[in-house]
Chain A
């Protein structure tokens, strides 16, 4: 396997492109490096979420009833709608990448902004979901109905018999932990997309060079795929 490119055979414009960083031999090497780098980054993200998925699998196997009861307290309609919103944002992102590959500057900016908008809708809905759950837990009075794990957790709110109420705390710990981490990844992603959109507006991208758009696209699709796993695991657990 010989990946090393002999410098002299690359076309001149890729050896002196404005976006070429000087430690790379040519633009192709730079783009391949960026792409591999993003895939490696995504690999470590999978391992990062992986720890939570492992904990989820182990506890769901141990407490099937508590998980079903906990899941029942999540709003499936909102969850489904939010899933569609996020998939929509992946679509607009893919369209943005395509626009970059075909050199349509305004389309790039438009689709990236649409992605941000849909991402914002997702996060907004999540905010309301969280607020609704957290509200009973605040204040000094009795915390009936509080489903946030911790000192104020109310096992009776899960309508469970016996130990399942206490175990449902683990379900909600995972719910807040996993969706929270996912939301954090979206919150980090949105300013990055806006930055790329600004670069696109200033005409920095061409069909030959639009690597940043592709890279942020990879990241955003990854964030979407994580949600596609989270949604059924958290919202669609039924007891049997």
Chain B
């Protein structure tokens, strides 16, 4: 739906769902506003004082009315709650086939990195129709990643990852705003999401020097930082095996289980004592302060890429031997 006057453009797979809830609530709001306002106006005029000493007949309450105007609104808000929650669930479940774009916010710019390695500042090119998952973190204060045309927003918090996703439905160029006050140039910390037809996107990717993918950067770091010393691929090391880790459920020393997602991997690098895997000693040193947020994203991308091979095939050698 192209922007009607005073309506934002609708350019993602979820914006229609959000607008549907929005207009349902508008309808309820208008109904009650107009209804009650008219009632008040009508009563105020119809029962206007006619004579100075006039005293109207005494009224008593009505439990029936109280029940009615308690339960009807309750029913309506319950409906709103259920519907909104369903949309919220959908917003928080990125599809499995989503491409991951790493996003690092800092005062006052947005740094993007595509899975193929291309970097962008303040502008993000994406193909139409493809699910895009943005992994968000900040180098300094809290920011917020807001694309009105997609109806998505997620705070970008230092020290953790937040995730949002979208599937753009129409080519075009859409506002990206920072939506959490972050200091002097907060209002200028904007950008654009540029949605292209798939062929154009491929052309765009190919243009420019061949960049290093986050996976390749992460693999190099994995060796440079000596992660490989303990996290050996043959599971004889002091650290847990990382192959096939991503997305799996892990049992921790205290007995509880947790899903190994991006946030878990990042935390394990900067705060290894927080979630120690069952059966292992808490001896991993912290790398907090030794790796930048972008390097952390690269390590996460690399570890994600360590998949268990299909049955029968030998374990693939790492992309580059060093």
Contact = CB atoms under 8 A, between A and B. Distances in A.
Chains A and B touch each other in the complex, with CB atoms below 8 Å apart: yes
B273 A166 contact: no
Nearest to A65: B273
B84 interface: no
Interface of A, helix, strand, loop or mixed by DSSP: helix
Contacts of B271: 163, 167
B274 A162 contact: no
Interface in B26-57: none
Interface residues of A, number: 10
A166 B274 CA distance: 12
A161 B288 contact: no
Given A62-B274, A63-B274, A65-B273, A166 B282 contact: no
B200 to A, nearest CB: 45
Contacts, number: 29
Given A63-B274, A65-B273, A163 B283 contact: no
A78 to B, nearest CB: 29
Contacts of B284: 162
A62 B273 CA distance: 10
A164 interface: yes
Nearest to A164: B273
Contacts of B270: 163
Interface string A160-173: 01111011000000
Interface in A142-194: 161-164, 166-167
Nearest to A155: B286
Interface string B276-314: 000000111110100000000000000000000000000
Contacts of A164: 273
Contacts of A163: 270-274, 286, 288
A66 to B, nearest CB: 8
A166 B273 CA distance: 11
B274 A161 contact: no
Interface in B250-281: 270-274
Contacts of A63: 273-274
A63 B271 CA distance: 10
Interface string A64-85: 0110000000000000000000
Contacts of B283: 161-162
B246 to A, nearest CB: 22
A166 B285 contact: no
A166 B290 CA distance: 14
A169 to B, nearest CB: 12
A65 B271 CA distance: 12
A163 B288 CA distance: 8
Contacts of A66: 273
A167 B286 CA distance: 11
A167 B282 CA distance: 15
B240 to A, nearest CB: 16
Contacts of B273: 63, 65-66, 161-164, 167
A47 B240 CA distance: 44
Nearest to B254: A64
A163 B273 CA distance: 7
Contacts of A62: 274
A66 B273 CA distance: 9
A199 B235 CA distance: 77
Contact of A65 (B282, B285, B286, B288): B282
A13 B273 CA distance: 69
Nearest to A165: B286
A141 to B, nearest CB: 23
A163 B282 CA distance: 10
A163 to B, nearest CB: 4
A62 B283 CA distance: 18
A161 B273 CA distance: 9
Interface string B111-125: 000000000000000
A65 B283 CA distance: 13
A160 to B, nearest CB: 8
| Interface core residue of A62, A66, A162 (most chain B CB under 10 Å) | A162
29 contacts: A62-B274, A63-B273, A63-B274, A65-B273, A65-B282, A66-B273, A161-B273, A161-B282, A161-B283, A161-B285, A162-B272, A162-B273, A162-B282, A162-B283, A162-B284, A162-B285, A162-B286, A163-B270, A163-B271, A163-B272, A163-B273, A163-B274, A163-B286, A163-B288, A164-B273, A166-B286, A166-B288, A167-B271, A167-B273
Given A65-B273, A65-B282, 18 more contacts: A62-B274, A63-B273, A63-B274, A66-B273, A161-B273, A161-B282, A161-B283, A161-B285, A162-B273, A162-B284, A162-B286, A163-B271, A163-B273, A163-B274, A163-B286, A163-B288, A166-B286, A166-B288
Interface of A: 62-63, 65-66, 161-164, 166-167
Q: Lowest 3 CB-CB distances: which A-B pairs, in order? A: A163-B286, A163-B271, A162-B286
